[in-house]
Structure 1
Amino acid sequence: MSEQRTVAVLTEITETTEQPSFGSIHCFCEELAQCAKERGLFFYVTSPSLYLQRIGYQWIGGEWMKRDVPPADVIYNRLHSRQSEHSPLFAELLTRLAVEGGSMFNHRFLHKWEVYRYFEQHEYLHPYLPKTALWSNEDTLEAFLTAFPSVFLKPIHGSQGRGIFRLERSDGTIRLRHSTSASTTTYSSIDTLVSALRRRTKAPMIIQQGLEIHTIDGRPVDFRLLCHRVRNNHWRVTSAVARVAPPDQFVANLARGGELMAINTVLREWYTASDAFQQKQLLKEIAMEAATVLALEAEGLYGELGIDLAIDVHDQPWIIEVNTKPSKQTDMTSAPQTVRPSAKAIIEYCLTLMEEKE
């Protein structure tokens, strides 16, 4: 390892003649750089190709400067493309990192089906798991539509609410809606529905029990709890927000036009102060349990997870999804210049990994 403790963020970089762009985490990288400096760390942002050339961007005097950099003791993987993680460059980077004795966390994207299978192995999470199966044929769809008033089809590699279908059976017909459309298509039989779905879906899909979740003004609400790993595989929640779906939509993702609200504000719409507090604590406990299970079961190292939960009209919490590269849009503070708790948590976890190795 290098003489000075070194942390790098690995992401896609758009290089221009002026300042580079780190995409959706650009401002977050400035916060990380500030935290790292306060803790005496050498910090830079790089990409797979730049890292192999020992080049990175340092935050110096209010701008990002391209510099020769030392090997990283710890790399925080914020690549946003699954294709990048399957590239020869990424494989070469992992080999180089192993030879140099460095660590990487948030090892790779975890898809929806493998996450469900990890959770399924732990019985205490079963009450919070919507029934889920890998969609393979008409029989699976028929069984779910018979068992539940509504079901969802989701691409296992999907993100940001893209490519999701909602299906409901009513009066001998099946109604189909897509997450990017407000219109509904009606089918008279499973066969015609499946034929239509086959034409519109190419990637593997999961089929999942539909939930009648709580709403605000008729708009479905879910919750994003951002969890960070501390020591000994313990986790803590660093931020929690509510996301409200746009009018006439059934997904609350911000990328689909969802609205952020304070979690306390939403829970007080539904509950007394005491019950709202209890529900918030339960959501936090479920999120931390879910993070602990994934850290235990999934290959590689994970230090940051976005856990999406919802509460149904019977006040039952459910685990909806897990994001291994959680958006920083939901991790907000009231003051624009404030360093977010999640930036501090990332740097603290990097220090923990280095101390454990030493």
Structure 2
Amino acid sequence: MGDDVGRTHLAVYVDGPYSGPRKFGEQTRLFEDLSLLGRDTGVDVQVLTPGDLSTGRAHVFTGTAWETAPRAPMDVVLRRSGVFHRHPAVAARELVALRRHGLLHTLPRQSGHKWKMYAWLRGDARLRPHLPRTWLCARIEDLMALLASQDDLYVKPLNGTQGQGIYRVRRRAGKIELLPAAGGGLITVATPSELQRAWPADAWVPAVAQTTIPLARVGNRPFDLRWLVCDGDCPQIIARVARLAKPSAVTTNIHTGSEPRAAETALVEAFGAQTAGDLVNQLDDIAMAVAELARDKFGPYAELGLDLAVSDDGRAYFIELNPTPGRRMLRRLDPKVHRLSLQALLEYAIQVRQRRGGYAQG
């Protein structure tokens, strides 16, 4: 790592390291791209894993391989894992220390808590009309009571990501159908006791249930949307992506097989050019309102991913917030947009350093 006082130091805190070429799992290539781009932009990038902060080491990419090196000073630290499987207690302790020192510029994990987020956002008059009806299910009895009046729901873990643990729950002809997003086939039960046996409460409770939105479609493929927002001196929307699901898919998540497409293109195909333009403007307003509220509540952040949707009758919805948005869909969609999203992170780190007067913490 360079020690030039004119350079900015960006650290990424992530689960790992792992053996083999993918040292940081599926994010390894992202960190390599960020390191190479940073080298040309005046930003030195280092990766920290649980325990590295305490021992003073870091992982750096030479251009051909990852090496362990003494940890450099830090202007900004970005948390890039939602869950830490390796040394979670160490990770929690080090992340608290980084936030206490004002170095951590990722929204806290509780910002993605689906019920707390819904309760918080529904207090804003701008956003209330764009939130799907949502209920907290602390017990299986809560879900059964809902199904007495609701016949189509999505049940989601409070802190789940990448479509994990999501079920579509439908009431049809006196029976209850469970469709897991992860696959495995349809589960059909007739009574609450059968539901408890087929779907043990410790596998999903507590959770949120949201009324199913009849998503807009391109052909026979439903889609939802991901907006990537980067903070900084001038907060901006960096990317607008539609995620086209397979016709019978339970979720539109890229990890469950969806196809990324430019959001404007998908909306034009679904609604026509004029309506699509109006919808993009409306979705932009929703995204920036959520981003503004997130900053006011949690403090500065480098980026966030916002999941949005448009129903088949043209209503815009905000679904959820992701404090550590991935880049897989951007790389598949448009390498230029992917590069722009990385550049935005580097520019954010530079701006933070400049506001501090060029001082980085060791």
For the aligned pair, the TM-score class normalised by the smaller chain equals 0.7 to 0.9
Tell me if structure 1 keeps the 8 A contact 2:137–2:205: no
Distance 1:84 1:107 in 2: 21
Partner of 2:293: 293
Distance 1:143 1:242, change over 3 A: same
Distance 2:343 2:304 in 1: 15
Distance 2:296 2:99 in 1: 22
* Aligned partner (choices 7, 11, 14) of residue 11 of structure 1: 14
Partner of 2:339: 340
* Aligned partner (choices 120, 125, 137) of residue 127 of structure 2: 125
Tell me if structure 2 keeps the 8 A contact 1:222–1:243: yes
Distance 1:151 1:245 in 2: 18
Code of the aligned partner of 1:55: R
Distance 1:58 1:235, change over 3 A: same
Task: Judge which range, 120-129 or 32-41, deviates more.
Answer: 32-41
Distance 2:289 2:98 in 1: 33
Partner of 1:355: 354
Structure 2: give runs of 5+ residues left out of the alignment: 358-362
Equivalent position SS for 1:104: coil
TM-score (norm 2): 0.86
1:307 aligns with 2:306: yes
Tell me if structure 1 keeps the 8 A contact 2:238–2:340: yes
Deviations 1:196-228 (A, max 9, x none): 433572442111111111123333211111111
Distance 1:39 1:329 in 2: 23
Partner of 1:251: 251
Aligned positions of 1:155-166 closer than 5 A: 155-166=157-168
Partner of 2:260: 260
Deviations 1:301-338 (A, max 9, x none): 42211111111121001112221111111223767588
Deviations 1:162-219 (A, max 9, x none): 2112122233333322212374333334554355433572442111111111123333
Distance 1:307 1:67 in 2: 35
1:240 aligns with 2:218: no
Partner of 1:49: 51
* Aligned partner (choices 225, 232, 240) of residue 230 of structure 1: 232
TM-score (norm 1): 0.87
Partner of 1:274: 274
1:283 aligns with 2:286: no
Task: Judge which range, 77-86 or 200-209, deviates more.
Answer: 77-86
Code of the aligned partner of 1:323: N
Distance 2:21 2:176 in 1: 52
Distance 2:158 2:8 in 1: 37
* Aligned partner (choices 168, 171, 179) of residue 169 of structure 1: 171
Deviations 1:220-277 (A, max 9, x none): 211111111122xx53111111111224212111111112222233112112212212
Tell me if structure 2 keeps the 8 A contact 1:149–1:210: no
Code of the aligned partner of 1:5: T
Partner of 1:40: 42
TM-superposed deviation, 1:2: 9.5
Equivalent position SS for 1:161: coil
Distance 2:119 2:29 in 1: 35
TM-superposed deviation, 1:343: 0.6
Partner of 1:329: 328
Task: Judge which range, 56-65 or 121-130, deviates more.
Answer: 56-65
Tell me if structure 2 keeps the 8 A contact 1:118–1:293: no
Distance 2:169 2:310 in 1: 20
Equivalent position SS for 1:124: coil
Distance 1:150 1:205 in 2: 16
1:178 aligns with 2:180: yes
Tell me if structure 2 keeps the 8 A contact 1:219–1:250: no
Code of the aligned partner of 2:229: C
Partner of 2:25: 23
Task: Judge which range, 174-183 or 5-14, deviates more.
Answer: 174-183
Distance 1:210 1:184 in 2: 17
Tell me if structure 2 keeps the 8 A contact 1:150–1:211: no
Identity %: 26
Tell me if structure 2 keeps the 8 A contact 1:220–1:250: no
Task: Judge which range, 179-188 or 25-34, deviates more.
Answer: 179-188
TM-superposed deviation, 1:115: 1.8
Distance 2:241 2:333 in 1: 13
TM-superposed deviation, 1:147: 4.2
Distance 1:202 1:264 in 2: 35
Equivalent position SS for 2:314: coil
Task: Judge which range, 21-30 or 337-346, deviates more.
Answer: 337-346
Distance 1:164 1:61, change over 3 A: closer
Distance 2:41 2:215 in 1: 43
TM-superposed deviation, 1:78: 1.0
Code of the aligned partner of 1:295: R
Equivalent position SS for 1:252: coil
Distance 2:54 2:43 in 1: 21
Tell me if structure 2 keeps the 8 A contact 1:19–1:64: no
